[in-house]
Amino acid sequence: MSPTDVLDLLVVGAGPTGIAIGAEARREGLSVLVVDRGPLTAAIQEYPVFMEFFTTRDRLEIADVPFTIAEDKPTRRQALAYYRAVVERYKVPLALFEDVVKVEKEGEIFRVHTAKRTLAARAVAIATGYFGQPKRLGVPGEDLPWVHVRYREAYPHFQQDVVIVGAGNTAAEAALDLWRNGARVSIVHRGPHVKPGVKYWLKPDIENRIAEGSIPARFHTRVRAFRDGEGVEVEGPGGVEILPAQAAYLLIGYLPDADFERRCGLALDPETLIPTFDPETCESNVPGLYVAGTLQAGRWTDRIFIENSRDHGPRIVAHLKRRG
Average pLDDT of the chain?
A: 94
Cα–Cα distance measured from residue 246 to residue 59, given in angstroms and rounded to the nearest whole number: 39
The string over 181-196, giving b where at least 16 C-beta atoms fall within 10 Å of a residue's C-beta and e elsewhere, is eebbbbbbbbeeebee
pTM (2 d.p.): 0.89
Let me know if residue 277 belongs to a domain: yes
Taking the C-alpha atoms of 138, 143, 149 and 150 in order, what is their torsion angle to the nearest 10 degrees?
Answer: 170
Instruction: Give 46-53 contacts, CB < 8 A, sequence gap 24+.
Output: 46/131, 46/150, 46/152, 47/76, 48/76, 48/151, 48/152, 48/153, 48/173, 48/174, 48/177, 49/76, 49/152, 49/153, 50/75, 50/76, 50/153, 51/75, 51/76, 51/173, 52/76, 53/79
Residue after which a domain boundary falls, among 223, 250, 277: 250
Let me know if residue 51 belongs to a domain: yes
Residues 266 and 127 in one domain: yes
Residues 40 and 102 in one domain: yes
Residue 3 has pLDDT above 60, yes or no: no
Let me know if residue 44 belongs to a domain: yes
State which amino acid sits at residue 120.
Answer: A
∠272-273-277 over CA atoms, to 5°? Answer: 110
Residues 265 and 123 in one domain: yes
Helix (H, G, I), strand (E, B) or coil at 131: coil
Let me know if residue 1 belongs to a domain: no
Let me know if residue 241 belongs to a domain: yes
Residues 16 and 79 in one domain: yes
Give whole-number Cα distances, 283 to 8, 53, 95, 294, in Å: 15, 30, 23, 15
Residue after which a domain boundary falls, among 250, 278, 299: 250
Asked whether 248 and 242 are in contact (CB, 8 A), the reply is no
Residue after which a domain boundary falls, among 230, 250, 270: 250
- Band (pLDDT 50/70/90 cuts) for residue 25 is very high
Residues 265 and 312 in one domain: yes
Can you give the residue range of the structural domain that contains 215?
A: 147-250
Q: What is the pLDDT of residues 174-206, one digit of tens each?
A: 999 999 999 999 999 999 999 998 888 899 999
Residue 137 CB coordination number (10 Å): 17
Cα–Cα distance measured from residue 228 to residue 247, given in angstroms and rounded to the nearest whole number: 10
Give whole-number Cα distances, 43 to 31, 196, 224, 268, in Å: 26, 24, 29, 23
| Domain of residue 277, CATH code | 3.50.50.60
- Packing angle between helix 16-27 and helix 312-323, nearest 10 degrees? 40
Q: What is the pLDDT of residues 125-144, one digit of tens each?
A: 999 998 878 999 999 999 99
Q: What is the pLDDT of residues 31-67, one digit of tens each?
A: 999 999 999 999 999 999 988 888 889 989 999 999 9
Residue 174 CB coordination number (10 Å): 25
Let me know if residue 140 belongs to a domain: no
Given strand 161-165, what is the order of strands in its sheet?
147-148, 247-250, 161-165, 184-188, 217-218
Q: What is the pLDDT of residues 139-178, one digit of tens each?
A: 999 999 999 999 999 999 999 999 999 999 999 999 999 9
For 74, phi and psi rounded to 5 degrees?
-70, 155
